[in-house]
Amino acid sequence: MREAELLVTLAEIAGVFVGFGALISVRSGGASDTEVVAYIRAVLILGLWVVVAGLGPATLVAYDIAGRDLWLVCGLVGLAGLAVVWATNLRTPEMRELMRGASRARLVREGIVTWVLIGPAWAALILVVLGLFPDRDAALYLSAVVLALFLAGLTLLFLVYAQHPPASASDGAGQPSGGGSSA
């Protein structure tokens, strides 16, 4: 099954994202900035969902589950997992604080990016579970995993942009020496 092999590859890529998120966390000495912690958690939890969702079909195939049954089980597990990911991430104190402290423009911008990716992923999984397009279940499931992986990658990018440069030795305030404000 070509899809199962591709899903395993996507799980491997997600594992790299999880590793990078963990590495950033360790490198920052146990990040204390609320924004950084929220992004690290989001990358890790989304990446883990992609790993599980990517390995699920290959694992179930080993148990001789195939066809519509395979994609129904994967779709149900995927939806349940995505619901847990979403609920877990939104309930963390860091995410609540981040949402309270973020500017409206930033919340809208990041919210749009998130929902443009995760909304279709939810929809694809729902279509798989409902079985409305049984000949497209594999493609829909694969699309959901790819969209979640892309969102994990963008969240990792948001994390990188959220990192604040260390204070420079010149003035201790993070501003380069010998210049004025860049604003």
158, 8, 56, 50 alpha-carbon torsion, rounded to 10°: 0
DSSP state for residue 183 in the 8-state scheme: -
Residue 80, pLDDT score: 96
- The gap from C-alpha 137 to its chain's centroid, in whole angstroms, comes to 22
Residue 175 belongs to some domain of the structure: no
Amino acid letter for position 64: D
Is 75 a residue whose pLDDT tops 80? yes
Contact call for residues 79 and 52 (beta carbons, < 8 A): no
Residue 54 belongs to some domain of the structure: yes
Is 159 a residue whose pLDDT tops 50? yes
Amino acid letter for position 155: T
Residue 182 belongs to some domain of the structure: no
Q: Which domain holds residue 27?
A: 2-162
Contact call for residues 98 and 34 (beta carbons, < 8 A): yes
Higher-pLDDT residue of 132, 166: 132
Residue 109, pLDDT score: 79
pLDDT digits (tens, 9 = 90+) for 31-62: 567 777 788 888 888 888 998 998 899 889 88
Residue 165, pLDDT score: 61
List alpha helices for the chain, DSSP H.
2-27, 34-61, 67-91, 93-101, 104-130, 137-162
Residue 107, pLDDT score: 75
Residue 28 belongs to some domain of the structure: yes
Higher-pLDDT residue of 13, 126: 126
Give the number of other Cβ atoms within 10 Å of residue 95's Cβ.
19
Residue 107 belongs to some domain of the structure: yes
Question: What is the distance between the alpha carbons of residues 127 and 163, in angstroms, rounded to a whole number?
Answer: 38
Amino acid letter for position 135: D
Mean pLDDT of 144-162: 86
Residue 177 belongs to some domain of the structure: no
| Residue for token pair 């939806």 | 79
- The gap from C-alpha 21 to its chain's centroid, in whole angstroms, comes to 11
pLDDT digits (tens, 9 = 90+) for 84-117: 988 888 788 877 777 777 777 777 777 888 899 9
Residue 23 belongs to some domain of the structure: yes
The CA distances from residue 169 to 41, 127, 174, 183, in Å, are: 31, 56, 8, 21
Query: Structural domain tally of the chain?
Result: 1
pLDDT digits (tens, 9 = 90+) for 117-146: 999 999 999 999 999 999 999 999 999 999
Residue 96 belongs to some domain of the structure: yes
Is 177 a residue whose pLDDT tops 50? no
Two tokens at 178?
């010998």
Question: Does the CA dihedral 102-106-108-113 come out positive or negative?
Answer: negative
